[in-house]
Homo-oligomer: A and B are copies of this chain.
C-alpha cells in the first residue's frame, strides 16, 4: 500500500513554499532542492494551481507561492484532492469483476478503514508538517547550493 509520488511531491512542494512565506519560488529551484524531476514537478504544480493551493505567476520574475496560510491547508483534504485512485480493493472500483460483491462485506470494511485513515490526516495541516522551530533547518536542507 503506497500513495503515489505525485501526492508525496505535492506535500513536499507545499512544505517548501510554507517555509518561504510570501517570497516567490520557481519550479526549477524546488526541483533542484529536492533533486527530483523538473518535468514531473511541473505537472504537479499545475494541478496544485488548478485546485487552488498555489498562486502561480507566469513570465519573467514569476514563480509560485501558497494561496493560503499553512495552518489552513489540511493534509487529509489535499490527499483526497490529489491522490487519483483510492480504490483499495478491486470491489471499491468501477471495473470490479468479483462475483461475490453482492453479498461480500469487504468493500464496506475497507471503506471504513479508508475513512479512518483520511480522518486522521484531517487532524493535521501543513503548519504541523513544517513546525516553526524547524524553519531554519528546513531552509538549510533545502538550499540548492
Contact = CB atoms under 8 A, between A and B. Distances in A.
A81 interface: no
B106 A129 contact: yes
Interface stretch (A20-28, A41-49, A58-66, A95-103): A95-103
A29 interface: no
A34 B91 CA distance: 13
Interface of A: 1-3, 5, 7-8, 11-12, 15, 33-35, 75, 83, 85-90, 97-100, 102-106, 109-110, 112-121, 124, 128-131, 134, 137-138, 141-142
A83 B1 contact: yes
Contact of A113 (B2, B5, B100, B120): B120
